Amino acid sequence: MRSACRQPDADERTHVTLISPRLFGRDRPSQRRESRARTHSIQIILQSHPLHLAHRLPGLAVFDMDSTLIQQEVIDEIAASLGPEFAEAVSAITARAMNGELDFEESLRERCQLLKGVKGGIWTELRERITLTPGARELVGCLKSLGWKTAVLSGGFQPMADWLKEEIGLDFAHANHLVVSEDGKSLTGELEGDIVHAERKRELVVKIAEREGVQLGKTVCVGDGANDLLMMGVAGLGVAFNAKEKVQVAAPTRLNADSLMDVMYLLGYSQDEQAEILKR
């Protein structure tokens, strides 16, 4: 569990930290749970009974990719193939961009320029190094079983988003397109097409929802970076998952947990109900 254990400042008390009931165990007396809540400086504990019944009807669930559905930042992994100097430079820019300290599109183009010359087949190698966030596959499986549409909207790159879409069964995948040299042997460091920045993510949420006949109030958006805040804001339920500190403060809802499956608690599904859905 990666929940913050400090006492929240006064200006943070309007924000909600939702904690998995697993932290407290099952069938424990409520007084004991309240005592643990005080010990951990938890603002609100999400109990096992359904709190968000409105979200039980099928809708649209949208996820960021890097550090949300997967545990890595893909652009940092590509840079690592060029050596530690490139890796450190790209990683530093990535961290500042995700924290909202830099313009996302400008910083993305700057980082992509550093990738010039990387072999065009890097995506196959990356698939072997990328690890799914715990609960990602199970969460998508549960939502699909319940009739939800699912999408990944990434400020990363389309080849990895397409792979992830097939790997865990998503319905839609939108990301950025890195240009490959004419002979297909290397990346040029340039981008083509629309950049999937914060505004574009919000536009895509609205567009996909309209296409699927889903009201925005029935959408869930989950991400960890500053470029996810706009899509969180337009969604019926916007969730900052293990997000950067500034993002947690600005997000509609924040969830700090080891598993993405804990999003199911926000939708009103108890641990027992989740287990039953996973059996389908």
Which positions are annotated as active-site residues? Answer: 64, 66
Nearest-10 Cα torsion for 154, 158, 160, 163: 110
H-run or E-run covering 105: helix 104-113
Strand order in the sheet with 44-45: 44-45, 17-19, 253-255, 237-241, 219-223, 60-63, 149-157, 172-180, 187-192
Structure tokens at 66: 């890097």
User: Quick count: other Cβ atoms within 10 Å of Cβ 78?
Assistant: 26
Q: Give the torsion sign (CA, 143, 148, 154, 159).
A: positive
Question: Rounded to 5, what percent of the chain is helix, strand, coil?
Answer: 45, 20, 35
Extended beta strands in the chain, E state: 17-19, 44-45, 60-63, 149-157, 172-180, 187-192, 219-223, 237-241, 253-255
